[in-house]
Structure 1
C-alpha cells in the first residue's frame, strides 16, 4: 500500500465562500488544499466537543481523490470518519439526523461546471455559513492543527434513506414522470425511489458522469431543461423533474412544457402544509415573488423573508421554527414530516403526492397558483473584488423615491405595482438582478429605474436589461 504524501499548503482565501468552500480544481484547490482544510475542520470539530464525522462525495471525476485527502487528514487529527461513499448531498444531511453523528462533510461542486469542486459542511448540527467558514481559513493561517489517530469505517445509508421516503409518501394515482439527473449523483437513487412509489419513470441522463456531457447540471437555467421538455412531450408525461449535480436543488416542468419557478412551487406547498400546520412560519429568500407572502398569509401562515443561500435559509428556519422554506435557486426545505434540510428528492416526492390527490393535470393545478410578469435572475458581470463594495454603495445611495427599501440581502425595492432586486452573488463574479410586476409596462418601468441608477454609479457596467 502506498503511503499518502499530502502536505499542508497555502490556501486561496477566495474559495471560502458564503455557503461553502468551492473552486476550480488544480487552479484554486487540489488534494493538498483539501488535506489542509480538513486539518482545520478537525481542529474546529475538537473545539466543538466532537470526535466523529460523516464524509460523502458526488460523482465528479475529482471527488474520490479529494475525499481521500480529506479523510486522511481527519483521521490523522484524531477524528473518527464514517464514509458514506458517493451519494447525494441530502443523504449526508439525513445521516447527520439519524446516525448519531451530527457533523458531516460533502465533497461536491454542486451545479458548477465539471472542473469545480468543493465542500458543504455541517459541524455539531449547524450548516456552516459566512463567519463560520472564514474561521476555517483563519485556523489555516494560524497553523492550528492537531495530531491523533482516528478510526475509519464505511457505511451504506442509501437503502435506509430510500425506505424513509417511501414510508412517508403515498401517491393516490400513478404519474408518468421524466427524471433528468443531469448526469449528477442523484441518478444513484432518484429513479428507484420514484418507481417504488408507483411512478412510471422515464430516465434522462441518470447515469453518473462527472464530465456532465449532456448539459450543465443546473435546473434553474431554462436552456438546461430543453431535453427534459422534449422527453415530456415525446412520452406524454405528467411532469418532468430536474436535479442539480448533488441533488439538493429541484427544477419542475409541467406536462405542457411550462417551467414552474421555485417561488410558485413554494406557494403550492405552502397552501397544503398550512392546512396541516395552521399558523406555521414559512421562510423564503429575497429573490422570491411578492405573491408568496400573500399566499402564505391568506392560508393563515406567517411569512419570513431571509437572505439568499442554503446555509442562511437553514439558519433562519431554525431561528423561526419554520415548517417549510425555499429559495429561487431551487433549494426546498421541509420540516413538516421531514428534517428541515434541503432535499430535492424528498421535495419532488411531496409534490407528486400532492399532485396525485387530484385528477387534474399538473398545468391545471398550477393555474390556480398566482403568477406575475417577472424575470429570471439576470447576471451583471463585475470584478470579484469589486462586487460587495459596489453593492454596499448602491444600497446606501441609490435613489428610489416613493418606494420601500429592503436591505435584507442587497437592495430590494418595493413599488406599488412590483419590485426590483439587486444583490451581489456570493458564488460568481457578478451582481444579480430580478424584477416582478403586474404588467409588462410596469416591469419595463422598474427595470428602467434600476438601469438608470446603475449607470449613474458605473457607466462601464454591461446591463442586459
Structure 2
C-alpha cells in the first residue's frame, strides 16, 4: 500500500507515479473524497473514463468503488479521450466527471483530471480533496452508489461530424503516439470526409514508438517524414489523452498552438466580433495584434488547463488557448479543451484553401524556441521562481509580467520562466526578431538563473 502524499495534489489535477505515490488504494480514497464533494454540490452521479495506460483499469475500478462508497452513482465510459469525459459532463445526467490519465507524462505516471458540478477544479479545491481524505475517510454512505457502463463514442463523433464541415476532400496524416486518441481520430476525420493515414494509432500504454507529446519537436519527426513521403496535405498529432493538438505542414514546419490560435481566433471572431480571446503567458507576441486586427480583445492569462477553463467561464470568452496545445472552444462547443475537436475545426478552416500549408506558413512568426525545461528536484522549482522574482534584474526590458512566473518583454522579443505545476521543472520559452536578440535575451535569463542556482543545468 502506498501512503498518501500531498505532493500528488497538483495545481490543476492529481498526478503521481504508480506504486510510488499512486496506487488503487489512493485512487479509492480520491474517489471517496470527490464523491463526498459531489454530493455536497447536489450531484447524484459522476462520469469516469481512462486513457490507454497500463495502470488505468485498476485505478479506474478503485476510483469507482470510492465514488460509490460516498453514495454516488458511477457512469463508466471505459477507454476514452479526456475530452470525451468532459463531453459526458455536458450531455449525460451529471455535471461531474473524473478522467484517469497520465496525460503526456512517462508510462509509469497516472492521475486524475476532474470536473465538479460543471467546473474544472484547481488550486484550493484540489487541496481540499487531500484534506477531506484525512478528515472524512470513515464517512460511508448508508446506500452505496450504483455502477453502470456507457458507450459515448457514437454520440461524441456524431456531435462533431454533424457540425464541423470540411470545404473539400483532403488527405491527412494523424499521429497519436499510441495514446488513447488513436482509438477515435481516424474514425472522426474519415467521418468528416477526409482520407486518413494513421500513424501509431494502436493504443499502447508502453508508448513504443515515441512519446505522445506534440509540444516537443522530436515527437513530430515521424509525422514530418510521412508528409514528405506521401500525398497527405497536412499532419495532426495528439498527446496521450487527446486533449492537445499538434500541427505540421506539408513542408515539415511545426505550427505551434499560439500560431494555430491566430486562425481559430479570426474564424471565431467572424461570428463573435469584439469578444475577448484568452491565451497563456507562453504564447507569441504576434498573437495579441492578430486578435486585435481580427476585431477581438486579447487577454493574457496563466498557464494551466483548469485555470484557463475557469477564466473562460468567468469572462464569457468564446475561445481560449495555451501554447502547450490545449484549445478551448466555447463557440459551437462546450468550452473544454479537446485536441480532436480542435483538429476538426482546423481542417474546416484549412480546406477552404487550395494550399493549406501556404496559409499556415504565412502566419506571423519570429525566431523562437519550443518549451525548454530546467529539471530540478521536487519542490525546488517553486523556490527558484520565488528567488528569481525577488532578486533578478533584466536590463533594457520594456515590461515584466508576473501573472505566472516571469515574462520579460523587450522591444525585440520576450523571455519567460515559470514553474510547472505538474512536474518539478522550470518551463522557459524565448522569442525575438533576430537570432542575436534571441541570444541576448537567453543570455540574461541564463545569468539570473545561474546567479540563483549555480549548479543549474540549463537547456540552452
Q: 1:67 aligns with which of 60, 66, 73?
A: 60
- Whole-Å Cα distance in 1 between the matches of residues 243 and 220 of structure 2? 17
> Once structures 1 and 2 are overlaid, which stretch shifts more, 73-82 or 396-405?
396-405
Give the TM-score of the pair, scaled to structure 1.
0.96
Mean CA deviation greater in 322-331 or 426-435 = 426-435
Whether 1:117 aligns to 2:110 is yes
Match of 2:292 in 1: 297
In structure 2, how many angstroms separate the alpha carbons of the residues matched to 1:385 and 1:280? 38
Equivalent position of 1:165 in the other structure: 160
Please give the alpha-carbon distance, in whole angstroms, between the structure 1 residues aligned to 2:244 and 2:54. Answer: 21
Deviations 1:17-58 (A, max 9, x none): 112111111111111110111111112112222221101111
In the alignment, structure 1 segments of 5+ residues that lack a partner are 1-6
- The secondary structure found in structure 2 opposite 1:118 is strand
Quote the Cα distance in structure 2 between the aligned partners of 1:157 and 1:362.
Answer: 32
Which of 210, 217, 222 is matched with 2:217 structurally? 222
CA contact (8 A) 1:422 1:432 kept: yes
Q: Which runs of 4+ in 1 moved over 3 A?
A: none
- Write the distance in 2 (CA, Å) between the matches of 1:375 and 1:233: 23
In the TM superposition, what whole-angstrom CA distance separates every residue of 1:229-285 from its partner, at most 9, and x where no partner exists? 111122121011111111001110111111111100001111221112111111000
The two structures, once aligned, show a CA RMSD in angstroms of: 1.2
> Partners of 2:351 and 2:329 in 1: how far apart?
19
Partner of 2:29: 36
CA distance in 2, matches of 1:317, 1:104: 19
Separation in structure 2 between the aligned mates of residue 389 and residue 283 of structure 1, nearest angstrom: 28
**Other structure's SS at 1:43 match:** helix
Tell me the residue number matched to 1:343: 338
Distance in 2 between the 1:395 and 1:268 partners?
34
Contact 1:241/1:250, CA 8 A, preserved across alignment: yes
Q: CA deviation at 1:145?
A: 4.3
Aligned counterparts, 1:46-125, within 5 A: 46-125=39-118
Q: Is the 8 A contact 2:276 2:318 kept in 1?
A: yes
Structure 1 residue matching 2:236: 3-state secondary structure: strand
Deviations 1:314-371 (A, max 9, x none): 0111111111111011111111111110011110010001011121x22210133111
Residue 240 of structure 2 corresponds to which residue in structure 1? 245
Q: Distance in 2 between matches of 1:413 and 1:345?
A: 33
Distance in 1 between the 2:384 and 2:424 partners?
Answer: 12
Deviates most, 333-342 or 384-393: 384-393
CA contact (8 A) 1:43 1:145 kept: no
Q: CA offset at residue 146 of structure 1? A: 2.6
- Distance, in Å, in 1 between the alignment partners of 2:375 and 2:56 is 29
Aligned partner (choices 429, 440, 444) of residue 439 of structure 2: 444
Q: Return the alpha-carbon distance in structure 2 between the equivalents of residues 114 and 454 of structure 1.
A: 31
In structure 2, the gaps of 5 or more residues are none
Aligned residue number for residue 360 of structure 2: 366
* 1:138 aligned onto 2:138: no
Assess if the C-alpha contact under 8 Å between 1:185 and 1:245 holds in 2: yes
Instruction: Report SS of the residue matched to 2:340.
Output: helix
User: In the alignment, is residue 391 of structure 1 matched against residue 385 of structure 2?
Assistant: yes
1:227, distance to aligned residue in structure 2 (A): 1.1
Q: Secondary structure at the match of 2:162?
A: helix
| Structure 2: distance between partners of 1:93 and 1:143 | 27
Per the alignment, residue 318 of structure 1 pairs with 313
Higher mean C-alpha deviation, range 20-29 or range 40-49: 40-49
Rounded Cα–Cα distance in structure 2 between residues aligned with 1:273 and 1:35 = 41
Find the residue that maps to 1:142 and give its secondary structure. helix
Alignment correspondent of 2:448: 453
Q: In the TM superposition, what is the alpha-carbon distance from 1:224 to its structure 2 partner? A: 1.0
Say whether 1:11 aligns with 2:22. no
Residue aligned with 1:455, SS: helix
Please say if 1:152 is aligned against 2:147: yes
8 Å contact kept, 2:413–2:432: yes
Which residue is 1:190 aligned to? 185
Tell me how far apart the structure 2 counterparts of residues 452 and 114 of structure 1 sit (CA, whole Å). 35
What's the CA shift for 1:402?
A: 4.2
Q: Distance in 1 between matches of 2:414 and 2:371?
A: 13
What secondary structure does 1:164 align onto?
helix
Distance apart, 1:128 and its partner CA: 1.2
Counterparts of 1:347 and 1:146 in 2: how far apart (Å)? 41
Shift of 1:173: 0.8
Q: Once the 2 structures are TM-superposed, how far is the Cα of residue 143 of structure 1 from its aligned partner?
A: 3.7
- Structure 1 contact 42–146 (Cα < 8 Å) conserved: no
